[in-house]
C-alpha cells in the first residue's frame, strides 16, 4: 500500500498518475490526510497524558513518604481522571488507525511513468513480437479437439469429479505437463532462483500482504471454517516469506521459484475463447519472485523479461509482449508486461505470463525492509512473474506442433518426456 508520507509529499502527482487507472484519488487522499492528522494529534495528546500520569504517580509516592497525605490523595484523584482520558484517547487512536489502514488498503498502486492511460486490454501497448507461425494444415484442430483425439486431457471426467474448469490430464498429456514443470523449474534454478515447495493455502495476513485481499477476495477459494485461502499463485506464499522481515543490503536480491497448482474462482463467460485450457479454476504454474533494492528493480524486471523470452524461444512458440495500460494493471502493480503466445489453430493470442514490478507497494504491506550498509532502513522492491503458466503453453504446443502424423514434441522437452511425438 502507499505510504502516508509519500501521499503528503506527492499528492498532486499521485492524483494525476492514478487517473491513468481511471481512479479519482483526490477525495480519498483528503480523507487519508485528515485521518493521519487526527492520528498524529491524538498520539501527541496521548503521549503527553501518559507522561503526566507517570510523573504524578512518582510524585504520589514521595508525597505519602513526606506525610503530605491530602496532596497525595488529590494527586491520586487527578491520576484516576488521567487514566480515563488515556483510555478514551487510546480507543480514539485505535479507531483512527484502523480506519486509515482500511482506506490505504483500498488505494491501488501508482502506475510507472511509462504506463499509458486506458480502460481495458484493448489499450495495452505491444512492445515486442517474435513471430514464426507454423504451416498448419487447413483442417488444423484447436487443442480441446486434439486432447480428445489423442486422449491427452479429459475435460468431461474433471467436470464429473469436481466441475467445469478442473481438467484431468492423462497418459502422454500428463507426461507432457510434468515435463513442462520440470523444464521451467530447471531453467529458473539455472538462472539463480532457489526452488521451494510451498503450502497451497495461506492465512488472511498473507493475502493482505501481497494484495490479494481485500481486492480479489471474491476470486479466491475460502476455507471458511479455518479461515484459509487456496492460493491463486505461488507469489503469495513466496513473497510472504519476507513478511515482518528485516534483511541486510548484502542479502539482496532474493530470487525464488516454485511450482504449484493454483486456484481461482473466476472463470469468465462461456464461449470458444474460454474453451478447453483457455481459462480454468485449477491450473499449474511455475512462478519466479524477486526481492531487490529499489534502484535495481527495473533492471531486474528487464532480466526477468529476457529470461522468459529465452524459454519461449527454446519452445519455438510465436509470442509477443504487451505493456499494460493503466486500466488493465493489477491493483498492486506499478508496471506489468504480459507475454502472449499465438494459437495458430484458434487464431488468437493467449496470455501465458505476467511480469510485474510492485515497487514498495507490497513491501509496505508486508513490512519488508532492509538495512542499508550505512545503517539506514528502507522498504525493498518486490517483483514476480509467471515462468510459466502451463495451460495455455500446453494449448500452444498442441496446436502449433500438430502435423498429419501427430503432435511433435518441442526439441527442448524431449529429454523430459521420453518421446518425440504424440500419435
Annotated binding site for L-serine: 233, 264, 287, 384
Residue keyed to cell 492528522: 37
In 186-202, which positions are buried (b, 16+ CB within 10 angstroms) versus exposed (e)? ebbeebebeebebeebb
Please work out, in degrees rounded to the nearest 5, the angle formed at the alpha carbon of residue 203 by the alpha carbons of 199 and 209.
Answer: 100
Please work out, in degrees rounded to the nearest 5, the angle formed at the alpha carbon of residue 41 by the alpha carbons of 38 and 47.
Answer: 135
Binding-site members for ATP are: 264-266, 351-354
Going from the C-alpha of 275 to that of each of 167, 271, 278, 283, the distances in angstroms are 11, 6, 6, 14
Listed in order, strand segments (DSSP E) in 44-166 are: 125-130, 153-154
C-alpha–C-alpha distance, residues 163 and 166, integer Å: 6
Binding-site members are: 233, 264-266, 287, 351-354, 384
Tally of CB atoms within 10 A around 207: 23
Going from the C-alpha of 123 to that of each of 17, 117, 269, 327, the distances in angstroms are 16, 8, 21, 8
Q: Which three cell numbers stand for residue 71?
A: 496532596
237 preceded by a cis bond (ω within 30 of 0)? no
What is the H or E stretch that residue 29 is in? helix 26-65
Q: Which three cell numbers stand for residue 320?
A: 509477443
Of the candidates 378, 362, 288, 293, the one whose C-alpha atom is nearest the C-alpha of residue 330 is 362
Q: Which three cell numbers stand for residue 271?
A: 464461449
C-alpha–C-alpha distance, residues 378 and 371, integer Å: 7
Establish how many alpha carbons lie within 13 A of residue 124's alpha carbon, considering only the half-sphere containing its beta carbon: 21
Amino acid at each position: 500500500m502507499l505510504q502516508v508520507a509519500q501521499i503528503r509529499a506527492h499528492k498532486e502527482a499521485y492524483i494525476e498518475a492514478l487517473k491513468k487507472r481511471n481512479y479519482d484519488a483526490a477525495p480519498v487522499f483528503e480523507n487519508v490526510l485528515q485521518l493521519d492528522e487526527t492520528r498524529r494529534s491524538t498520539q501527541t495528546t496521548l503521549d503527553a497524558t501518559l507522561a503526566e500520569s507517570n510523573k504524578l504517580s512518582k510524585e504520589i509516592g514521595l508525597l505519602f513518604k513526606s506525610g503530605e497525605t491530602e496532596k497525595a490523595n488529590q494527586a491520586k484523584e487527578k491520576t484516576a481522571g488521567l487514566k480515563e482520558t488515556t483510555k478514551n484517547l487510546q480507543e480514539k487512536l485505535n479507531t483512527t488507525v484502523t480506519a486509515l489502514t482500511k482506506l490505504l488498503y483500498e488505494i491501488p498502486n501508482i502506475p510507472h511513468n511509462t504506463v499509458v492511460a486506458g480502460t481495458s486490454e484493448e489499450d495495452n501497448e505491444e512492445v515486442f513480437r517474435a513471430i514464426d507461425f507454423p504451416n498448419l494444415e487447413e483442417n488444423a484442430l484447436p487443442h480441446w479437439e486434439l486432447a480428445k483425439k489423442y486422449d491427452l486431457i479429459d475435460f468431461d471426467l474433471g467436470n464429473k469429479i469436481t466441475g467445469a474448469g478442473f481438467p484431468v490430464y492423462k497418459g502422454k498429456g500428463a507426461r507432457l505437463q510434468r515435463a513442462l514443470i520440470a523444464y521451467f523449474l530447471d531453467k529458473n534454478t539455472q538462472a539463480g532462483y532457489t526452488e521451494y515447495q510451498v503450502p497451497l493455502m495461506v492465512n488472511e495476513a498473507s493475502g493482505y500482504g501481497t494484495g490479494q485481499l481485500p481486492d480479489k477476495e471474491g476470486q479466491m477459494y475460502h476455507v471458511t471454517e479455518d479461515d484459509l485461502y487456496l492460493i491463486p499463485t505461488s507469489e503469495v506464499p513466496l513473497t510472504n516469506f519476507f513478511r515482518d522481515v528485516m534483511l541486510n543490503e548484502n542479502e539482496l536480491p532474493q530470487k525464488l521459484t516454485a511450482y504449484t497448482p493454483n486456484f481461482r474462482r473466476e472463470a469468465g463467460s462461456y464461449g470458444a475463447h474460454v474453451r478447453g485450457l483457455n481459462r480454468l479454476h485449477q491450473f499449474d504454474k511455475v512462478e519466479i519472485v524477486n526481492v531487490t533494492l529499489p534502484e535495481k528493480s527495473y533492471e531486474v524486471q528487464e532480466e526477468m523479461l529476457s529470461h522468459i523470452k529465452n524459454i519461449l524461444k527454446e519452445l519455438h512458440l510465436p509470442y509477443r509482449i504487451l505493456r499494460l495500460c493503466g486500466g488493465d494493471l493489477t491493483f498492486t502493480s506499478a508496471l506489468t508486461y504480459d507475454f502472449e503466445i499465438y494459437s495458430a489453430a484458434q487464431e488468437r493470442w493467449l496470455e501465458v505470463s505476467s511480469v510485474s514490478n510492485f515497487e514498495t507497494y507490497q513491501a509496505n504491506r508486508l513490512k519488508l525492509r532492509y538495512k542499508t550498509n550505512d545503517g539506514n532502513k528502507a522498504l525493498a522492491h518486490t517483483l514476480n512473474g509467471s515462468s510459466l503458466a502451463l495451460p495455455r503453453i500446453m494449448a500452444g504446443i498442441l496446436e502449433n506442433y500438430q502435423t498429419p502424423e501427430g503432435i511433435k514434441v518441442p526439441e527442448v522437452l524431449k529429454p523430459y518426456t521420453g518421446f518425440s511425438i504424440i500419435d
